[in-house]
Amino acid sequence: MARKWTLSLALLLASVVAHADTTPDADGFTNPLEQLQFNPYLDQREFERSTLGALHVYDPWESWNRRVYHFNYRFDEWVFLPVVRGYRYVTPSLVRSGVSNFFGNLGDVPNLLNSLLQFKGKRSLQTTGRLLVNTTVGVAGLWDPASRIGLLKQNEDFGQTLGFYGVPDGPYVMLPLLGPSNLRDTGGRVFDFVAENQINYLNVAEVSNDHPEITLLRAIDTRNTTNFRYGQLNSPFEYEKVRYVYREARKLQIAE
């Protein structure tokens, strides 16, 4: 008797399956999943390869740039970041904040100059206000009371100024230690450096000539406040991604 029930049940299930195979779904298809085609071996790297075309950036010096990128990667890993970790370990957070505010106040000098060159009146007034408040009330910029009263920092550089006047970005450039750039922005960096030294605000540029440790401290502070870490994208195409993101970010900054 048990065998008869088992056989009957099997025949019933077979008929149901056969009926399901030939009955169209509500959308008119029979077994629509069978029509799907996909690559079961598709992974993140394959997806990234398919999108490399969209990440294309004019990079005629790519071979050299990749070597510099690798150098920056290793220097960051073996030298820069260990120094930054040591700096954080021996320096209280209040002191680190004061150092960042001080150098940030110096950076507002080229920010103001470039805002004026781009005829950005509102930003020029804000940056002027920041310099006055932070240099006086903030004790030479060691504190940042300007941000607390709504005078937020505005980042403007000569590369943005050149872009504002229609100068093309030119070939992509990976600068030793400084990171991603392009031909236009590299020239802009030189201009900002010379301008800040000629203005010599708070006499820091002149004193730095006799005390290179000030320049070293500024470099350490800049790396400490920069969140980017080489290898954090965990991708074999990190170079392409960094290159693309830099170009697009600069476009947005120039368009502001």
Q: Is the pLDDT of residue 85 over 90?
A: yes
Domain that holds residue 212: 57-90+157-255
In a domain, 180, yes or no: yes
For residue 19, being part of any structural domain is answered with: no
**pLDDT of the residue at 45:** 63
Per-residue pLDDT tens digits for 31-41: 544 554 556 55
Between 19 and 194, residue with greater pLDDT: 194
Tell me if 152 is assigned to some domain: no
Of 154, 202, 180, 234, the closest CA to residue 59 belongs to 180
Q: Please check whether residue 11 lies inside any domain of the structure.
A: no
Q: How many domains does the chain have?
A: 1
Tokens encoding 18: 């056969």
- Distance (Å, rounded) from C-alpha 198 to C-alpha 208? 13
Q: Using a pLDDT cut of 70, give the percent of the chain over it.
A: 79
Residue 142 in domain: no
Specify the pTM.
0.78
Which of left, alpha, beta for 140 (phi over 0: left; psi -120 to 50: alpha)?
A: left
φ/ψ (deg, to 5) at 165: -90, 10
On whether residue 71 sits in a domain, the answer given is yes
